[in-house]
């Protein structure tokens, strides 16, 4: 990050003082420099953490927007969102570890991995969901009484299965409509190969 000229001057003075043979002598004279550096450091770290928090929140909202997320109970929802929370730094703005460069460089890959983990968990939880049969013999959703197992009516549909297709289109170059048609045709065939009864394809 860019460093204010006054803060840089404070850093230079403190560095020069620490390079002397007896840096403990007169260190109290550098108290203002230490305070300026500490304040600037906390401000930079706070800005980094705020930006990362916004990215994490956007990832949570994308998860919540997935079809059928609302079927999760509160415990399941917390399970799904936990990897994203764990990707965020928990040390606060006054911490010195990890350093600012590491804090910045590691977050992107950590969040990407957390989003993948959260989506996989959401897939598994939704696959386990079954249509709810109400005690009076009706299905949740308003079907007629008498439908369901043991009543002569239709059985509940099987659970949904999720299949992942890695599209691999990042950094692809499209120079013409023919190129675009080729890419879309390839994607269509790959998705088509995974589709089936009660199967949803998630593009990753």
CB-CB contact of 162 with 66 (8 Å)? no
User: In this model, does residue 141 exceed pLDDT 50?
Assistant: no
**More confident site: 26 or 171:** 26
pLDDT (mean) for 84-108: 88
For the chain, the 3-state helix, strand and coil shares in percent, each to the nearest 5, are 55, 5, 35
CB-CB contact of 144 with 184 (8 Å)? no
Using pLDDT thresholds of 50, 70 and 90, give the confidence band for residue 138. Answer: very low
Rounded Cα gap, residues 163 and 192, in angstroms:
11
> Would you say the pTM of this structure is higher than 0.85?
no
User: In this model, does residue 136 exceed pLDDT 60?
Assistant: no
User: In this model, does residue 151 exceed pLDDT 60?
Assistant: no
**More confident site: 135 or 128:** 128
pLDDT (mean) for 9-37: 89
User: Which long-range contacts (C-beta less than 8 Å, at least 24 apart) are formed by 189-192?
Assistant: 190/165, 191/165
CB-CB contact of 47 with 56 (8 Å)? no
Q: What percent of the chain has pLDDT over 90?
A: 34
CB-CB contact of 105 with 55 (8 Å)? no
User: In this model, does residue 101 exceed pLDDT 80?
Assistant: yes
**More confident site: 198 or 157:** 198
pLDDT of residue 135: 45
Domain boundaries, the chain: 1-129, 131-156, 160-204
Task: Give 139's contacts (C-beta < 8 A, 6+ positions apart).
Answer: 131, 132, 133, 147, 148, 156
pLDDT of residue 170: 75
Q: What is the DSSP letter of 136?
A: T
Report the chain's C-alpha Rg in angstroms.
27
**More confident site: 150 or 128:** 128
User: In this model, does residue 143 exceed pLDDT 50?
Assistant: no
The count of C-alpha atoms lying within 13 angstroms of the C-alpha of 147, restricted to the half-sphere facing its C-beta, is 16
pLDDT (mean) for 189-198: 84
Rounded Cα gap, residues 176 and 181, in angstroms:
9
CB-CB contact of 156 with 148 (8 Å)? yes
Phi, psi of 174 (to 5 degrees): -115, 120
User: In this model, does residue 199 exceed pLDDT 70?
Assistant: yes
């Amino acid at each position: 990050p860019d460093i204010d000229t006054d803060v840089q001057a404070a850093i230079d003075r403190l560095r020069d003082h620490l390079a002397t043979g007896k840096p403990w002598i007169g260190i109290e004279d550098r108290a203002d420099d230490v305070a300026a550096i500490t304040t600037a450091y906390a401000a930079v770290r706070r800005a980094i953490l705020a930006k990362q928090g916004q990215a994490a929140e956007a990832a949570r909202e994308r998860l919540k927007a997935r079809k059928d997320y609302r079927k999760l109970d509160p415990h399941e929802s917390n399970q799904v969102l936990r990897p994203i929370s764990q990707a965020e730094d928990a040390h606060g703005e006054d911490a010195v570890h990890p350093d600012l460069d590491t804090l910045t460089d590691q977050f992107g890959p950590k969040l990407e991995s957390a989003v993948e983990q959260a989506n996989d968990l959401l897939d598994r939880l939704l696959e386990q969901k079954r249509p709810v049969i109400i005690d009076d013999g009706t299905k949740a959703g308003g079907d007629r009484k008498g439908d369901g197992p043991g009543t002569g009516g239709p059985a509940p549909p099987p659970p949904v299965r999720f299949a992942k297709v890695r599209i691999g289109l990042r950094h692809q170059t499209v120079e013409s409509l023919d190129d675009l048609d080729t890419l879309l045709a390839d994607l269509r065939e790959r998705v088509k190969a995974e589709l089936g009864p009660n199967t949803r394809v998630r593009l990753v």
